[in-house]
Chain A
Amino acid sequence: MSHDHGHHKETFITKYIFSLDHKMIAKQYLISGLLMGIVGVVLSLFFRMQIAWPEESFEIFKVFLGDNFAPDGVMRNDIYLALVTIHGTIMVFFVLTAGLSGTFSNLLIPLQIGARDMASGFMNMLSFWMFFISCVIMICSLFVESGPASAGWTIYPPLSALPQAIPGSGLGMTLWLSSMAIFIASSLMGSLNYVVTVINLRTKGMTMTRMPLTVWAFFVTAIIGIVSFPVLFSAALLLIFDRSFGTSFFLSDIFIQGEVLHYQGGSPVLFEHLFWFLGHPEVYIVLLPALGITSEIIATNSRKPIFGYRAMIASILAIAFLSTIVWGHHMFVSGMNPFLGSVFTFTTLLIAIPSAVKAFNYITTLWKGNLQLNPAMLFSIGLVSTFITGGLTGIILGDSTLDINVHDTYFVVAHFHLVMGISALYGFFAGVYHWFPKMFGRMMNKNLGYVHFWVTAVCAYGVFFPMHFIGMAGLPRRYYTNSAFPLFDELADVNVLITIFAIVGAAFQIVFFWNFFYSIFYGKKATQNPWRSNTLEWTTPVEHIHGNWPGEIPEVHRWPYDYSKPGHDEDFVTQITPMKEGEEVLHH
């Protein structure tokens, strides 16, 4: 392997550990994200088992939770909340933010815009290692004697501020806050890098309107991250002050365990505002990269241009803008002024418009295509399906009137798991199947991919669709057991069904993991452009080299979606193919 830019000798450490190369950092993000994903999913199985078979003793709890968290194999009630909290945190931040964005932004931004690497390779490496440290701290918090953070992933104070309120708000919450503070720093470094790279390092001819939608999505996601993550950082910092230095930003008039605390004048609602100012954009930080990935994969595998390229960009921008002014829809019943509720209802329901445009554009892209149903394509179509199913119920939750009665019930759990959890996860899987050859130079087994998709698709519906019904029955989320209310006895069977689907669905992820790790070493050797794709990353050699292209960086002559263009023999025309004499641009 030749190193055109190999000015220095690479050791194992500089190549695989403290690598500055964006492709290696992408792989590091991917594998860390997947490992965190295993933890997050296993935790969810544990609490699903508790919900389905409340207060039963399980051998598996004895092994994994131990005598402290699960005396005699029966999960403690505060540990249930801890598992829910850490599951949410890990899945939202560590898997679907860092794992998804970190992997694909790092891999694809330089490759698809024609750059040798990220603007700052060092900051990129720093970003990954800070993420890694935050992962380690979060995992460590699972082993704290008083239990990990247990106040829900939204860590609303005072519950998260007072160890007297729940044991997890002691050391566990301290670790959670430290981990998240480092995570936010990591995420900001990554995001700044992405934005700077996209703005400055595009190759000749790569105008903004010739960028693949993946890069558009990563670019806009990074901007949302830069706008909103610092606000969470400030919230976390102020919470640390309240917890450790006796300030009263979020606390006031508290009487707990027979004692009046000194806090005076703070407001938990202020925390909710700060949290959701990140928290809602965060949903799109998770989802937009998945939609970007899907746009690219659906176009490539439909052998058709993505329908309405400019409308897709416009809808990404519209969603990004709206995402920063809708956070209050999480707080309709928080006690904030009902007039604000009206404003947030208005802005929230507006998001349905760009979302609908996206969904219809995807469907139209499939129309009269020549669909290559690769596993990546199946996951992309699956994403559109869950995005619709989950997104539609947003019309209910975004409407303050209807939110009153379904707020914090399983209806919400069903909604956001489908629209951002499963959808983003599908985008993640689609991306892995599609760019695996680019990352590892080998192919993943397609048949295992098909099995993985179909079982996952059925189980995802099986888990989350019934939750709408138990939510509309008034069942609150985050209940350790529902047996305290005879009213909910009739929901027990549904909960068992959900848990069974969850266990089967999770078990079949083993197929993916096996396929993934096996193929890294023994997969079929990939060709340079296995999916016959137009974008620049497939013009680089299969073997990874520093600087991505052996010679000059190629020049870009056209947009990325000239699939099946009339007048060309092949059904794809790469971006580096010059326009033929007299060839017209057929898109707007």
Chain B
Amino acid sequence: MTSFLVFTVLVLIGIAVWQLTKIFDLTQVGGVSENSEIANDKDNSVNGYLMFAFVGFIYVFTIYSLYAWSDLVLGTPASEHGKDVDNLMAISMALIFFVQTITQFLLHYFAFKYRGKEGKKALYFADNNKLEAIWTIIPVIVLAGLIMYGLFTWNNIMFVDEEDKQDAIVIELYAKQFGWEARYAGDDKTLGKANVRLIEGVNTLGVDLADPAAQDDKVVTELHLPVGKKVIFKMRSQDVLHSAYMPHFRAQMNCVPGMITQFSFTPTVTTADMRNDEAIIAKVDKINKIRIKNSKKIVADGGTALDPYTFDYLLLCNKICGASHYNMQMKIVVDTPADFKAWLKDKPTLAQQWKDANAPKPVETAEAVAVDSTKVIAQVIK
């Protein structure tokens, strides 16, 4: 079946080429009767008009894209700096569309307007310092503005004030093929030291449990953030490069084995509020319609239907990291401060988990060992 389709497509392309060349051939009728494979007036004319049509195509395609696909673009930013990023993006985009519209028009319009004619002579116009100065200086001014705005925002995002640090919560994002874990620094706002050489059993992050700062660290597999509070992320990776990409928060930083990288932001919209955002509701509806449609096909083929989609913030891996790179994600939940506190309070500290898992000390009585070993087995099974 496939080979038949491929064959049909090839035949159709062949016919299309034949027809198209014939059109170009037909335009030669009545032209100069040379056949030198060099463009003559007819060719110039046909291709000149096509050039003009092409700028039309660019415009129509752009307008169609804006109409059909604008709603695909990430909506309301969910972080404080996200608004600045989106503002700068909007300014840059406006500039780009402006320049694109004008230069593409000039380029293709000139290609049409000045299409060659036998006997016409072109203008000998080799240089003009004034013109060249104009189109050097205008970009300089525009870019100076963009650079300054950009760098101002960049510095605000990347450098955390000492004051903010006092108030922030510190979370480690830990990447490995192909999943994420997060470690909360706890009340001391300091993450315990860690190294992959210490990875053992439940201590999957290689935390140095002898470090006093590590005692209140908590490790989880679902990221919860309190709304309105600065979060400082410290990224680590245990194997290859990963990238912690949180598109809704306009946040991204690579996770590099052997070093700790950092990114911080303040979430501004809780998950619950975002689910009530109009654009998000429309998006979710649209996606669910697609999923229902897809499910029908899957069910007809004997599979199980897709789960309906509800909106959640996500952490994605955005640096090629191996075969399952495409499915390395963690859910992010932005809570109200109270909910966040309650959620975190319930989580055991890593030190506690370790103690539970390794409770039987080797030099204990036989009975105790017997009792505790079941506990260990239970932990392992868990």
Q: Is the CB of B287 within 8 A of A565?
A: no
B314 part of interface (Cβ distance < 8 Å):
yes
**Residue on A with the closest CB to B262?**
A335
B286-316 contact mask (Cβ, 8 Å, vs A): 1 or 0: 1100110010000000000011010000101
Partner of A152 from B39, B132, B250, B320 at Cβ < 8 Å: B320
A588 part of interface (Cβ distance < 8 Å):
yes
**CA of A561 to CA of B290 in the docked complex: distance in angstroms?**
58
Partner of B44 from A373, A409, A443 at Cβ < 8 Å: A373
Min Cβ gap B174→A in Å is 11
- Contacts A353-B136, A446-B38, A587-B126; A60 near B326 (Cβ below 8 A): no
Q: Is the CB of A486 within 8 A of B291?
A: yes
Q: Is the CB of B154 within 8 A of A374?
A: no
Q: Is the CB of B117 within 8 A of A370?
A: yes
**CA of A335 to CA of B242 in the docked complex: distance in angstroms?**
11
**CA of A393 to CA of B13 in the docked complex: distance in angstroms?**
33
Q: Which residues of A contact B92 (CB under 8 A)?
A: 395-396, 399, 402
A137 part of interface (Cβ distance < 8 Å):
no
B363 part of interface (Cβ distance < 8 Å):
no
**CA of A381 to CA of B2 in the docked complex: distance in angstroms?**
38
Q: Is the CB of B325 within 8 A of A451?
A: no
A531 part of interface (Cβ distance < 8 Å):
yes
**CA of A384 to CA of B250 in the docked complex: distance in angstroms?**
32
Q: Is the CB of B127 within 8 A of A310?
A: yes
B150 part of interface (Cβ distance < 8 Å):
yes
A371 part of interface (Cβ distance < 8 Å):
yes
A14 part of interface (Cβ distance < 8 Å):
no
Min Cβ gap A18→B in Å is 33
- Contacts A268-B257, A395-B92; A381 near B111 (Cβ below 8 A): yes
- Contacts A392-B96, A447-B25; A162 near B114 (Cβ below 8 A): no
Q: Is the CB of A363 within 8 A of B106?
A: yes
**Stretch from A28-36, A94-102, A232-240, A506-514 that touches the partner:** A506-514
| Interface size of B in residues (CB-CB distance below 8 Å) | 133
Q: Which residues of B contact A367 (CB under 8 A)?
A: 110, 114, 123, 125
Q: Which residues of A contact B106 (CB under 8 A)?
A: 363
**CA of A265 to CA of B158 in the docked complex: distance in angstroms?**
26
B105-146 contact mask (Cβ, 8 Å, vs A): 1 or 0: 011101100111100111111111101100110011001001
If over half of B's interface residues share one DSSP class (helix, strand or loop), that class is named, otherwise mixed; here it is: helix
B206 part of interface (Cβ distance < 8 Å):
yes
Interface residues of A in 382-439 (CB under 8 A from B): 384-385, 388-389, 392-393, 395-396, 399-402, 404-405, 407-409
B166-184 contact mask (Cβ, 8 Å, vs A): 1 or 0: 0000000000110000000
A340-380 contact mask (Cβ, 8 Å, vs B): 1 or 0: 01100110011011001101111110111111111001100
Q: Is the CB of A251 within 8 A of B257?
A: yes
Q: Which residues of A contact B306 (CB under 8 A)?
A: 486
B63-106 contact mask (Cβ, 8 Å, vs A): 1 or 0: 00100011011100000000011001100110110011001101
A479-514 contact mask (Cβ, 8 Å, vs B): 1 or 0: 111101111011110100000000010011011000
**CA of A384 to CA of B54 in the docked complex: distance in angstroms?**
13
**CA of A305 to CA of B2 in the docked complex: distance in angstroms?**
52
Q: Is the CB of B135 within 8 A of A255?
A: no
B261 part of interface (Cβ distance < 8 Å):
yes
B17 part of interface (Cβ distance < 8 Å):
yes
**CA of A400 to CA of B253 in the docked complex: distance in angstroms?**
12
**Residue on B with the closest CB to A470?**
B72
Min Cβ gap B292→A in Å is 11
A54-66 contact mask (Cβ, 8 Å, vs B): 1 or 0: 0000111000000
Min Cβ gap B114→A in Å is 5
Q: Which residues of A contact B290 (CB under 8 A)?
A: 489-490, 492
Min Cβ gap B159→A in Å is 7
Q: Is the CB of B326 within 8 A of A399?
A: no
**CA of A373 to CA of B212 in the docked complex: distance in angstroms?**
76
Min Cβ gap A114→B in Å is 22
Interface residues of A in 461-475 (CB under 8 A from B): 461-462, 465-466, 469-470, 472-474
**Residue on B with the closest CB to A532?**
B38
Partner of A366 from B114, B314, B320 at Cβ < 8 Å: B114
B266 part of interface (Cβ distance < 8 Å):
no
A260 part of interface (Cβ distance < 8 Å):
yes
B238 part of interface (Cβ distance < 8 Å):
yes
Q: Is the CB of A450 within 8 A of B24?
A: yes
Q: Is the CB of A490 within 8 A of B283?
A: yes
B242-266 contact mask (Cβ, 8 Å, vs A): 1 or 0: 0101011011111011110101000
**Stretch from B192-200, B269-277, B334-342, B371-379 that touches the partner:** B192-200
**CA of A167 to CA of B136 in the docked complex: distance in angstroms?**
50
B369 part of interface (Cβ distance < 8 Å):
no
Interface residues of A in 438-454 (CB under 8 A from B): 443-448, 450-451, 454
A256 part of interface (Cβ distance < 8 Å):
yes
Q: Is the CB of B147 within 8 A of A346?
A: yes
**Taking each of B21, B129, B154, B253, which has the highest tally of chain A beta carbons within 10 Å of its own beta carbon?**
B154
Q: Is the CB of A162 within 8 A of B240?
A: yes
Partner of A309 from B121, B127, B314 at Cβ < 8 Å: B127
Q: Is the CB of B196 within 8 A of A255?
A: yes
Q: Is the CB of B127 within 8 A of A366?
A: no
- Contacts A309-B127, A372-B39; A303 near B54 (Cβ below 8 A): no
Q: Which residues of B contact A561 (CB under 8 A)?
A: 126
Q: Is the CB of A478 within 8 A of B325?
A: yes
Q: Is the CB of A405 within 8 A of B85?
A: yes
**CA of A356 to CA of B155 in the docked complex: distance in angstroms?**
28
Min Cβ gap A362→B in Å is 8
Q: Is the CB of B124 within 8 A of A305?
A: yes
B352 part of interface (Cβ distance < 8 Å):
no
Q: Is the CB of B326 within 8 A of A373?
A: no
- Contacts A165-B239, A373-B111, A487-B287; A311 near B44 (Cβ below 8 A): no
- Contacts A269-B259, A357-B132; A307 near B127 (Cβ below 8 A): yes
Min Cβ gap B232→A in Å is 14
Partner of A368 from B123, B309, B320 at Cβ < 8 Å: B123
B1-37 contact mask (Cβ, 8 Å, vs A): 1 or 0: 1110010011001000100110011000000000111
**Stretch from B45-53, B215-223, B343-351, B353-361 that touches the partner:** B45-53
Q: Is the CB of B154 within 8 A of A409?
A: no
Q: Is the CB of B256 within 8 A of A335?
A: yes
**Residue on A with the closest CB to B97?**
A392
Q: Which residues of B contact A446 (CB under 8 A)?
A: 24, 37-39, 43
B323 part of interface (Cβ distance < 8 Å):
yes
Q: Is the CB of A454 within 8 A of B325?
A: no
**CA of A353 to CA of B258 in the docked complex: distance in angstroms?**
39
Partner of B39 from A362, A373, A393, A482 at Cβ < 8 Å: A373
Q: Which residues of A contact B110 (CB under 8 A)?
A: 363, 366-367, 369
Q: Is the CB of A345 within 8 A of B151?
A: yes
A198 part of interface (Cβ distance < 8 Å):
no
Q: Which residues of A contact B103 (CB under 8 A)?
A: 359-360, 363, 388
**Residue on A with the closest CB to B157?**
A401
**Taking each of B9, B73, B199, B206, which has the highest tally of chain A beta carbons within 10 Å of its own beta carbon?**
B73
A564 part of interface (Cβ distance < 8 Å):
yes
Instruction: Give 5 new A-B contacts, CB below 8 A, not counting A356-B136, A401-B85, A478-B326.
Output: A267-B258, A309-B127, A364-B131, A445-B21, A564-B124
A/B interface sample: 15 pairs, CB < 8 A: A255-B197, A269-B256, A308-B128, A334-B254, A363-B103, A396-B93, A399-B146, A408-B243, A445-B37, A447-B24, A448-B21, A469-B70, A479-B325, A486-B291, A510-B13
Chain B positions within 8 Å of A, measured between CB atoms, are: 1-3, 6, 9-10, 13, 17, 20-21, 24-25, 35-39, 43-44, 46-48, 50-51, 54, 57-58, 61-62, 65, 69-70, 72-74, 84-85, 88-89, 92-93, 95-96, 99-100, 103-104, 106-108, 110-111, 114-117, 120-129, 131-132, 135-136, 139-140, 143, 146-147, 150-151, 153-155, 157-159, 176-177, 195-197, 199, 206, 235, 238-241, 243, 245, 247-248, 250-254, 256-259, 261, 263, 283, 286-287, 290-291, 294, 306-307, 309, 314, 316-327, 329
The 3 closest A-B pairs by CB, nearest first: A252-B258, A474-B247, A587-B126
